[in-house]
Amino acid sequence: MKKQIITILAAGGLAVSAFAQGSINEDAFLPPNYPGITTQGVNATSTLLAPASPLWFTGQMSLAIYYVSTMTGATYSLATINSYLNQTGGAATALADLTADGYVEASTTTITGNTVGSVTGPVATGTIGFTGNIGLTGVPTGASAYLALVGTAVGGADAGYSGVIAFANSTGGNPQTTPAGTAASLTGWGNADENLVLSGAVPEPATMALFGLGSLSLMLFRRKIS
């Protein structure tokens, strides 16, 4: 009898878990006049003022989606998290704030699989060139969730540059049902009216020390010549 009860409870738990899974679609975005991916610089966060070159990012980018179902009791507001956009080393601070507020990384889902982790794809002139439905486990379908896009440039001159942007977004249907529910678009990113800015990391102390020694050597060399 106990085994039967445990089996029933387990099955019920799986059913609830499967039901409580909204979804988001990684839609492509079309700069200008709509949020895209930029590199660090003047007006990099503005969807209207960011010039077509050189701020709009073009290249390969790794993208992860973090989410939390509620901001109740959150330590940091969305505005606080986004205040680190376009700042050297800002992504690391923003990601630490996300973790403190209970954000977790979403699973990346495709038609054939469901794997936790980021996805990598092309970005052309600030526009994401890949899509995929993202399952948000524990968030009911048709509900409101808080999302964060965490992007990192892969390869090229901007390799390692990263950025974080957070916003509120509604969720779509459960991707695990048959037929799968329709995923919601990332409309909240547009409402934030800011670009996802990929910025450099803060230099390591050793790097700064070498830079300082190099500058000092150059000064002494110039003085000797003069």
pLDDT for 210 equals 42
Dihedrals φ, ψ of 12, to 5°?
A: -65, -40
pLDDT at residue 226 in the model: 55
pLDDT at 112: 40
pLDDT of residue 224: 55
Range in 73-77, 202-206, 222-226 the model is least confident about: 222-226
pLDDT of residue 154: 96
| Least confidently predicted of 94-98, 99-103, 189-193, 221-225 | 221-225
38: left (phi over 0), alpha (psi -120 to 50) or beta: beta
Q: Which of 83-92, 114-123, 205-214 has the lowest mean pLDDT?
A: 205-214
pLDDT value of position 162: 97
Least confident of 109-118, 181-190, 194-203: 109-118
- In the predicted model, is pLDDT for residue 70 greater than 90? no
Strands 196-198 and 107-109: unpaired
pTM: 0.80
What is d(CA 21, CA 13) in angstroms, rounded to the nearest whole number?
A: 13
Residue 216 has pLDDT above 50, yes or no: no
Q: What is the gyration radius of the CA atoms in the chain, in angstroms?
A: 21
| The pLDDT of residue 205 | 58
Q: What is the pLDDT of residues 4-55, one digit of tens each?
A: 433 333 333 334 444 568 888 887 778 877 899 999 999 999 988 888 778 9
Residues paired with 71 in a beta bridge: none
Q: What is the mean pLDDT of the chain?
A: 80
pLDDT tens per residue, range 116-147:
678 888 999 999 877 778 888 888 888 889 99
